[in-house]
Amino acid sequence: MSGCFDSVCDDFYISSRLFLKLDLSLERDTVLNFFDRIRKEIPSLSKFRRNEDGCLILEEDLVTGAGSRRWVRLEPSSLRFGHFGASDCDSVRQMAEVILEHAPYHLSFSELDFDHLEVVYGFDLEYGGNHDQLVAETFYSDHPLAGFVLGDESMHVIDGQLYMGVALTSDCDLQAYVEVKSRTSTFEVRTGEFEKQPLSVFLTIRKYWGLTADGSLSQVQQKMFDVADELAAARVVPILVNPLALAIASRS
């Protein structure tokens, strides 16, 4: 698919995370050769920096990205990359293919080392109110838990975050998780002064290695994108994102 889900939320982003069983050797030549190879394929990934925690990041400049930013991050036990402000899912797939084709060679790892791979779709909805109250009223008003969450004894909802997961295969090696993440603090609830912050909906597709014939990293990643696209369009957007967006609009 060439389109993305940026039209249904304020910010849409995609990230991918490959978790390893053994730590990477983040030596100078190893890192520079890998990042140079990525930069040749994607020239806009030209800003290199090191975080205080020692993680190494190659990213687009914020000015160049104009609200859209791609990045690659190396940590001792994982390879992460993503696209914030994604408006073209095909370009995200192409970026993933480039990174995962070159990573095993430059970073010296194989499928024996793979623990699991994740694809995460993030939907941000800006809301200047009690996120937890909004979530509870949107999803629990007709639920058996409504008597507790929205009952007469409840002055404020202070934790209404959703987190659920399902297995997509009989051997549970492919999984899907949905999460609704609030950013409202109890201080804001007490004072009634709410900062406008993103209320986030996450769809995570997770693939564990070793239970079935998996194929190359790049091939598995593309299949996971297919699953994420289908679940996002058929389930996550209509069941979670759209109701929250309507609830926010009704309170504006």
- How many domains would you assign to the chain? 1
DSSP helix/strand/coil, 58: strand
DSSP state, residue 237: I
CA-wise closest residue to 181 among 196, 167, 162, 164:
162
Cα–Cα nearest to 88, from 33, 173, 14? 14
Question: Residue 120 maps to which CATH number?
Answer: 3.30.160.110
Q: What CA–CA distances, in Å, run from 40 to 31, 34, 92, 112?
A: 14, 10, 17, 28
Q: Give the separation between CA 36 and CA 4, rounded to whole angstroms.
A: 28
On whether residue 212 sits in a domain, the answer given is yes
Q: Is residue 81 part of a domain?
A: yes
Q: Tell how many helices (H) and how many strands (E) occur in the chain.
A: 8, 9
Task: Tell me the H-state helices in 50-145.
Answer: 62-65, 89-107, 131-139
Contact yes or no for 223/213 (Cβ under 8 A): no
Looking up tokens 């140079």 gives 36
Residue 1 lies in a domain: no
Domain-embedded: residue 85: yes
pLDDT score of 211: 63
Q: What is the pLDDT of residue 125?
A: 97
Q: Say what the pLDDT of residue 222 is.
A: 93
- Write down the pLDDT at residue 228: 96
Instruction: State how far the Cα of 110 lies from the Cα of 113, in Å rounded to an integer.
Output: 6
Q: Could you say which residues of the chain have pLDDT below 70? A: 1-3, 62-66, 211-213
pLDDT of residue 212: 64
Query: Residue 100: its pLDDT value, please?
Result: 92
CA–CA separation, 58 and 72 (whole Å): 5
